[in-house]
Amino acid sequence: MRAAFFRALMDIASTDHRITLIVGDLGFGVVEPFAKQFPAQFLNAGVAEQNLTGVAAGMALMGRVVFTYSIANFPTLRCLEQIRNDVCYHRVNVKIVALGGGFAYGALGVTHHATEDLAVMRSLPEMTVVAPGDPIEAEFATRAIIAQPGPCYLRLGRSGEPVLHRSGVDFELGKAIQLRDGNDLTIISTGGMLSTALDTAAQLDVRGISSRVLSMHTLKPLDEDAIANAACETGAILTLEEHSRIGGLGGAVAEVLAEMEGRRVPFRRIGLPPGFAPLAGSQEYLRAAHGLGTDSVVQSVLNLLEIAPA
């Protein structure tokens, strides 16, 4: 996703000189091409995220479109009030980019787990929240958030995520992308869990269970129609995210379902339990250890469908 993001950003930055990238002294081996090609549009603000975010808002107030870029929680939680007051309240063109959503930096420890970011960013007024599901979505998302004025949070994975979209993608902020259709349930995924969603659907196929898979790349504004359709047209809904079960995709979908008139569908949020994940481990290990491995998700679906009314 990282490469896709930079490809799109550099492409646009070459013609749109408002585009400015500010990094918090991170991105070694990654940001240099941008810095070299667009020195007047690049800034390393040092290890000082509060000032970095204020500077970004100040530059945006002068007409620039500013990307702040760091890893894990540094560009979000460390400078949350600057995001709320300086960026969101002034509705400026600051796009906050976090590399390493979820457990992407799993082995680095709890400080580097971005597992509450979606909930926090989603609650901020004026903030658009985007978590692409694969590199193709990441590239489209980068272009889309530049085209749309105002604050945005872009949560990326890291690098090496598989390309999951086989055909052309009709990417629009706030519109879920359906990757496959089915009747028995809908798996709604956000961010890098999309591959797990598709793997789960494939395993369910073998058991004769047909699933719709939606990539909810935009968490805010949320595609409520896609959720309502899933509730009406399929037998159950399961959300899947590499994030706390509190306040992220699962919470957002639950809010829609709870207020929906008429039909009630069985529903489960698959995400991280409320505690920290203090053990070292790769992203794959930590996902599996917290119920996000494909086998666990398949089991969750089976449990969910068992309790569904016949």
Q: Is 229 in the site for other proteins (CB under 8 A)?
A: no
| Secondary-structure breakdown of the chain: helix, strand, coil percentages, each rounded to the nearest 5 | 40, 20, 40
Laid out side by side, the sheet with 65-71 consists of: 42-44, 19-23, 65-71, 94-99, 152-155, 128-130, 218-220
> Residue 165 CB, nearest distance to other proteins (Å)?
37
- Among all chains, which residue has been given the structure tokens 């390493």? 100
d(Cα 289, Cα 92) in Å, to the nearest integer?
A: 40
> Residue 38 CB, nearest distance to other proteins (Å)?
11
Contact with other proteins (CB under 8 A) among 48, 202, 246, 308: 48
Q: How many residues bind other proteins (CB under 8 A)?
A: 26
> Residue 76 CB, nearest distance to other proteins (Å)?
16
Q: Is 98 in the site for other proteins (CB under 8 A)?
A: no
| Token pair belonging to 217 | 């790349």
**Burial, 306: exposed, middle or buried (Cβ in 10 Å; 0-12, 13-18, 19+)?**
exposed
139 classed as catalytic: no
d(Cα 185, Cα 298) in Å, to the nearest integer?
A: 12
- Complex with other proteins: residue 85 or 299, whichever CB lies closer: 85
Q: Is 50 in the site for other proteins (CB under 8 A)?
A: yes
Q: Is 176 in the site for other proteins (CB under 8 A)?
A: no
Q: Is 13 in the site for other proteins (CB under 8 A)?
A: no
Q: Is 60 in the site for other proteins (CB under 8 A)?
A: yes
- Sole window of 4-12, 39-47, 111-119, 300-308 interacting with other proteins (rule: CB under 8 A): 39-47
Q: Is 53 in the site for other proteins (CB under 8 A)?
A: yes
Contact indicator for 190, 252 with CB cutoff of 8 Å:
no
- Complex with other proteins: residue 68 or 211, whichever CB lies closer: 68
d(Cα 255, Cα 251) in Å, to the nearest integer?
A: 6
Q: Is 54 in the site for other proteins (CB under 8 A)?
A: yes
| Cα-only R_g, the chain | 19
Q: Is 56 in the site for other proteins (CB under 8 A)?
A: yes
d(Cα 23, Cα 71) in Å, to the nearest integer?
A: 10
Catalytic residue among 32, 49, 126, 306: 49
- Complex with other proteins: residue 18 or 143, whichever CB lies closer: 18
HEC secondary structure over 135-188: HHHHHHHHHHHHHCCCCEEEECCCCCCCCCCCCCCCCECCECEEEECCCCEEEE
- Complex with other proteins: residue 85 or 183, whichever CB lies closer: 85
- Complex with other proteins: residue 124 or 131, whichever CB lies closer: 124
Contact with other proteins (CB under 8 A) among 62, 163, 232, 302: 62
Give how far Cα 297 sits from Cα of 13, 185, 257, Å: 40, 13, 21
Active site residues: 49
Q: Under the rule (CB under 8 A), what is the footprint of other proteins?
A: 40, 43, 45-46, 48, 50-64, 81-82, 85-86, 89-90
